[in-house]
Chains A and B, each alone.
Chain A
Amino acid sequence: SAVISQKPSRDICQRGTSLTIQCQVDSQVTMMFWYRQQPGQSLTLIATANQGSEATYESGFVIDKFPISRPNLTFSTLTVSNMSPEDSSIYLCSGSSELQFFGPGTRLTVL
Chain B
Amino acid sequence: KQEVTQIPAALSVPEGENLVLNCSFTDSAIYNLQWFRQDPGKGLTSLLLIQSSQREQTSGRLNASLDKSSGRSTLYIAASQPGDSATYLCAVGLIKAAGNKLTFGGGTRVLVKP
A-B contacts counted at CB < 8 A amount to 52
Instruction: Determine whether B11 belongs to the interface, using a CB cutoff of 8 Å to chain A.
Output: no
Per-residue contact bits, chain A 89-111, to B (CB 8 Å; 1 contact, 0 not): 00010101011111111010000
User: How many residues of chain B have a CB within 8 Å of chain A?
Assistant: 22
Q: Of B49, B89, B93, which one neighbours A42 at CB under 8 angstroms?
A: B89
Q: Are A100 and B102 in contact (CB under 8 A)?
A: yes
Report the separation of the CA atoms of residues A103 and B38 in the bound assembly, to the nearest whole angstrom: 12
Q: Are B99 and A107 in contact (CB under 8 A)?
A: no
Q: Are B99 and A43 in contact (CB under 8 A)?
A: no
Q: Are A42 and B46 in contact (CB under 8 A)?
A: no
Taking A42-B89, A103-B43 as known contacts, 12 extra A-B pairs with beta carbons closer than 8 A to each other, sorted by chain A number, are: A33-B101, A43-B89, A43-B91, A43-B104, A45-B101, A48-B99, A96-B99, A99-B49, A102-B44, A102-B45, A104-B43, A105-B43
Residue ranges of A at the interface with B (Cβ–Cβ < 8 Å): 1, 30-31, 33, 41-45, 48, 92, 94, 96, 98-105, 107
